[in-house]
Every structure is written in C-alpha cells, then in structure tokens.
Amino acid sequence: MRSFFKELSQCRQAALSEAIGTFILVFAGTGAVMVNTISNGAVTHLGISFVFGSIVASLIYTVSHISGAHFNPAVTLAFWNSGFFPKHQVLPYILAQLVGASAASALLLVSLGSVANLGATVPLNGNWLQSLVLETVLSFILMFVIFGSGLDRRAPVGFAGLAIGLTVGVEAAFMGPITGASMNPARSFGPAFVGGIWQHHWVYWVAPILGAQLAAVIYRHLSNGFRDFKSYR
C-alpha cells in the first residue's frame, strides 16, 4: 500500500511537470509567433525557430529527471509502445500536456489578443496531404534523435537536451512556413482549442504519432531490440 501511494505521488509530480513544461513550451513558442506579428516581423522566422528549439532544450535539462520531459503526446505514446513508459501513466501525461498547452494559449489570448491565429498550425494553402507527409517525416526525425541521444546508452552523456532542442529549431526553421513544424499534438491543440481553429487539425495528431511510431520501429533494429537502451527512469 505504501508503494502504491508513493507511485501515485510520483505520477502526480510527473504529470504536473509535464503540464508546466508544455505550458512554457507553448507560451514561449507560440508567443514568439504572435509577438512577431504584433511587432511587424521583429522576431523573424529564424527567431521563432530559435525560441522553440532553445526552450525545448532548456526544459529537458530542467525537468527530465522528474517526468522524462515529453511535453508531447506522440513522444509519450512512442515511449509506451517501445516499453519504456508505464501504461497507466500515458493518459495522465497526455491530459497534462493538453491542459498545459491550452492554459498557455488562453493566457496569450488574454495578454496579446487574437493575433496570428494564436500561433496555430495549419497546412499552407490548405494542402493537408503535403503537411501530413512532411509532419510525419519531421516527427520521425525528432523521435529518432530522442531515442538516439536520450535513451541509447552508447550516446554521449549530457547532450540529449542540446541535440533535441537543435532538431526542433532546425526543423522549425526549414519547414515551419509549410506545415508550422508542429511535431507535437499538444502544441497544435492549445491554439486550436482556445482559438477555435480546427482546420485540418487531425493532421497534427496523425502525423506526429505516426512519425514517432516509425522511429520506434527503426530504432528498435538499430539498438538490438532496445537492448542497448538504458532504463527509462
């Protein structure tokens, strides 16, 4: 019984960490998109990409020891399907991520107003098939880097946050104008939910989850059935 309550407490701490981390990610990242519009481009597209990448890197170093620093339902599901995350924590994590993202978008709406669609991700010119393919590839790359830098025991120690943050920033830089470079259902859900912007929103769930699962399949082969991985927690 004591171990049950200890596990419950740890799950609550981890879920709260995920909510706060996702809040910060969406507040900073989509906030940069909105401020860029308000300031007539002062932040710039590359600046927005830098904000997304650097905040992800910072958050990984800040809370990875508490929750694993997912901040992304696609990442949580990939970890679970790969055997590195307990099933009973999947739903609390995803709910926490969605709540954190929605809270950030709500605060941005109150603070900055309804500008730039609150940083919502929508396919360029409504081309959902293009965005579906590209978001799948982007999410594959991101999850591939997460597995290789964050879980593989053969990787250099201490560089996971930097590698993952750089990946997010680079992908946002070269593909953001086409798809929004979400790679994260929670990041897309917050602005969509608060702003009521649901145009092709399903793409930003299906593609990241599919891409992350494909990365899990590929990296399983590269790591001898994950035997080269360190334990999740």
For 106-159, the pLDDT digits (tens) are 999 999 999 999 999 999 999 999 999 999 999 999 999 999 999 888 988 899
Residue 148 in tokens: 């290789």
Answer whether residue 4 shows pLDDT above 50: no
Q: Taking the CB of residue 42, how many other CB atoms lie within 10 A of it?
A: 10
What pLDDT, on the 0 to 100 scale, is given for residue 179?
Answer: 98
**Long-range contacts of the stretch 149-153 (C-beta < 8 A, 24+):** 150/64, 151/84, 151/229, 151/230, 151/232, 152/219, 152/223, 152/228, 152/229, 152/230, 153/228, 153/229, 153/230
Look at residue 5 in the predicted model and tell me its pLDDT.
47
Query: pLDDT tens digit string along 163-212?
Result: 999 999 999 999 999 999 999 999 999 999 999 999 999 999 999 999 99
Average pLDDT value for the chain: 94
Residue-level pLDDT at 232: 43
User: Is it true that domain 1-223 has CATH number 2.160.10.10?
Assistant: no
In the structure encoding, which two tokens stand for residue 45, read together? 């597209």
Which pLDDT belongs to residue 71?
A: 98
Query: What number is the average pLDDT over the span 212-226?
Result: 93
Q: What is the pLDDT of residue 10?
A: 65
- Domain ranges for the chain: 1-223
Backbone angles phi and psi of 127, in degrees to 5: -80, 85
